[in-house]
Structure 1
Amino acid sequence: MARPIRNQVLTGLALVLVALLALSQAVDPSSGTAPTHPRTVAAEAPRPPLAPALRRPELFDGRMFVAYYGTVGTPVLGVLGESTPEQAFARVRRAAAPFRRAGLAAQPVFELIVTVADSQPGPDGDYNHDVPVAAVRRWVEAARRSGALLVLDLQPGRADFPSVAKRWEWALRDPNVGLALDPEWRMHGREVPGRVIGSVTTWEVNLTSRWLEQLVEARRLPEKLFVVHQFRRDMLRGPHRVEDRRHLAEVQHVDGFGTPREKLATYAAVARPGDFRMGFKLFYDEDRPRLSAAQVMRIRPRVDFVSFQ
């Protein structure tokens, strides 16, 4: 409302008209919001619009997150390479159905390897290559349409995680897209992917998560998944020093295939539920026998994110 004008004399009809015009424009009746003054726009860059998903509750609200894992065009690295995004969504939704918990349906997730480690140095000498942007964009759009979340998985070879992550900033600006680091494929010195099991320092993990959180804040995005894969203690050096990021849902994802006894022993050896939410991987071909949804949900420390490869 306009403040009342006291002890002032309007000196002409023109002044009255100007005042009434200003009042009529103070609020846009179609939107209920004040218009932006041209000088304000010139002096201050406009903030990005709020993403529609910003009102989504915190990610870990009792649901289980169920992911299909892989990359584009080949089934060798996981089930996502066996089908189109639309077919993959139908499959992951069926796989997620038994993981209903706390009265909530499980959340479908695509975990897509977008930077793939190579056994050869390639033109850049970094022992990795990126999946074509057009192919990744198709998965981003499919996740948006279907209500799935998409996690971009990085296998950096001899490059470092922060520099590789920044190549995918365009996709990470999407509210439904998160990030996963796979230290198995982070090489050092003369190491070659596939010949050794890699590792990453907590310092590098923290650099990557800080950059991602700054992106979330700058773009006014909702909380993002931030996943770190691990199946040996020495893959993540100094896990107790991992920084807690207010805008990231941080997951330690315990990989490794084998018998249920072997998988649970690995989980018990590396799990750090005080620093992360916990993740667990199931393999369609290598696990003998594969744990059921009911068995996974009985694992302690509790699993909140499970993926199929």
Structure 2
Amino acid sequence: MSVAKYTLLLLSLLVLTSSCNQSQSKENKPAKAKVDTVKVAKVITLDTVDYQKRMVALSNGDTTGKWPVKTVHPLPGALLPYKRIIAFYGNLYSKRMGILGELPKTEMLNKLKEEVALWKAADSTVETVPALHYIAVTAQGKNGSGSNYRLRMPFKQIDTVMAWAKEIDALVFLDVQVGHSTVKEEIATLTDYLKLPNVHLGIDPEFSMKGGEVPGAKIGTMSATDINDAIDFLTTLVTENNLPPKVLVVHRFTKKMITDYDQIKPTAQVQVVIDMDGFGSKELKKATWMRTIYPEPVQFTGFKLFYKNDNEGKAEMYTPQELLQFTPKPIYIQYQ
């Protein structure tokens, strides 16, 4: 090969090598740039050690092994046991169903804030938050056309409660009294509200009339299946809509109001509170607690206080300091 041809071939190879390097460089630069600009989402995890410490604190030194309950850890963003919920209960159509509806809005909200402050002073280890617990489906003593002995409140009433809650940065609970209907059927009508992060659910076995009785004629009942239906519904809602965990409040003041309690299955998406309902003297309420709440643990506990019926003119309503002596400590407090 002549020197001229060899020189020409060498120059051609140099040009080709340079072009390939430039081509690789052009292909690599965007890829590198793309990697550099990708934002890695921060993974939020639950501090399980802190969670368990808080659960032990709620158990108030119980040594029986019942409390704290060994259940699934919640997803990050769970309300419990990090916050104590102080709720006002009622319905806007009736002054007899609770403090929510009995007092004018401004007076009611101010009174709620006062109760929140009292609980905060009584236990500064847990953040205290307000809530409005609205009866969105009410049991009825008469059966209208296809009503199943229950009446669904108009959405405009729920919207009003939502607006009031927003004014004081409060949670909202929508309560369901099914009558002759079912948990599944009634909570499905509230789906759009339950999709909101600050809206939670309450269900009331007292008005679930499995034997076809008229609501109020006797105390109703719900099985673990009924309660798990609500849990499953909320679990799906949380998962599909990427929501923080929901709280499900289940009212109880007799053994038969909840059957098969040990088959109730809280999930990472749904936290379950068994709320001790029923009015009366301190002695009666403590006895009810020891009979229906303490010996049948599910996950969390709540306590209902009646401004009128508990007092009976004797100023006997439990104080925050007194309720914090209960085992376990209630994390949800409802005023009616």
TM, length-normalised to structure 1: 0.81
Amino acid at match of 1:219: N
Q: Does 1:274 align with 2:297?
A: yes
The answer to whether the 8 Å contact 2:231/2:266 transfers is no
2:5 maps to none
Q: 1:162-214, CA deviations, whole angstroms, 9 ceiling, x for partnerless residues?
A: 11000000100110000011000011232111111110111111112111111
* Counterpart among 50, 70, 90 of residue 70 in structure 1: 90
Query: How many residues align structurally?
Result: 278
Distance 1:267 1:120, change over 3 A: same
Q: Which has the higher contact order (CA 8 A, sep 6+)?
A: 2
Shift, 1:64, TM fit: 2.3
* Counterpart among 285, 292, 296 of residue 323 in structure 2: 296
* Counterpart among 133, 142, 163 of residue 120 in structure 1: 142
Distance 1:201 1:113, change over 3 A: same
In structure 2, distance between residues paired with 1:8 and 1:142? 67
In structure 2, distance between residues paired with 1:86 and 1:168? 26
Which deviates more from structure 2 when the two are superposed, residues 180-189 or residues 268-277? 268-277
In structure 2, distance between residues paired with 1:67 and 1:133? 20
Shift, 1:33, TM fit: 8.9
In structure 1, distance between residues paired with 2:139 and 2:21? 75
Shift, 1:274, TM fit: 3.3
The answer to whether the 8 Å contact 1:200/1:236 transfers is yes
In structure 2, distance between residues paired with 1:261 and 1:308? 18
2:284 maps to 262
1:207 maps to 229
The answer to whether the 8 Å contact 2:140/2:149 transfers is yes
In structure 2, distance between residues paired with 1:264 and 1:217? 38
Secondary structure of the equivalent of 1:162?
helix
Q: Percent same amino acid at aligned positions?
A: 25
Q: Does 1:97 align with 2:117?
A: yes
* Counterpart among 309, 317, 321 of residue 286 in structure 1: 309
Q: Cα RMSD between the aligned structures?
A: 2.9
Q: 1:35-74, CA deviations, whole angstroms, 9 ceiling, x for partnerless residues?
A: xxxxxxxxxxxxxxxxxxxx97421244321110001131
Shift, 1:86, TM fit: 5.1
The answer to whether the 8 Å contact 1:137/1:171 transfers is no
The answer to whether the 8 Å contact 1:143/1:176 transfers is no
* Counterpart among 210, 221, 230 of residue 252 in structure 2: 230
Structure possessing the higher radius of gyration over alpha carbons:
2
Shift, 1:143, TM fit: 2.3
In structure 2, distance between residues paired with 1:170 and 1:87? 29
The answer to whether the 8 Å contact 1:86/1:142 transfers is no
Q: Does 1:308 align with 2:335?
A: yes
Secondary structure of the equivalent of 1:257?
coil
Which has the larger share of helix? 2
2:9 maps to none
Shift, 1:125, TM fit: 3.8
Shift, 1:223, TM fit: 1.2
Q: 1:252-308, CA deviations, whole angstroms, 9 ceiling, x for partnerless residues?
A: 001111110000000110015631201011110011311111111111221111111
Shift, 1:87, TM fit: 4.4
Amino acid at match of 1:130: R
